[in-house]
Amino acid sequence: MNFYTLGALVCLVSMHGVAGADSEKGEAATRLDRVICKNLPVSGSHRKQRICRTKLEWDESRKRSREDARYEKHSTHVTRG
């Protein structure tokens, strides 16, 4: 191998490393922007409803549901008879 070929090879490898880091950031953003559709049951119906949201929206919805369940579990309910 001559000097120029080696230099070109080093440049290509270093550019691939930089491009790989940028693409990983882009992939993370596109993973959260990816649309996911789910068929969820509807109260009072035998049919399911198709709901489409981004992964970020599904994650936020799941987080809110868990927080609500945790709140209900720890809140005091007073019943009088």
Whether the per-residue pLDDT at 38 is higher than 70: the answer is yes
> Chain-wide mean pLDDT for the chain?
78
Band (37; pLDDT cuts 50, 70, 90):
very high
* Rounded percentage of the chain residues whose pLDDT exceeds 90: 44
pLDDT, tens digit, for every residue of 2-21? 545 555 555 555 555 555 55
User: SS in 3 state form for the chain?
Assistant: CCHHHHHHHHHHHHHHHHHHHHHHHHHHHHHHHCEEEEEEECCCCCCEEEEEEEHHHHHHHHHHHHHHHHHHHHCCCCCCC
Lowest mean pLDDT among 31-35, 36-40, 63-67, 76-80: 76-80
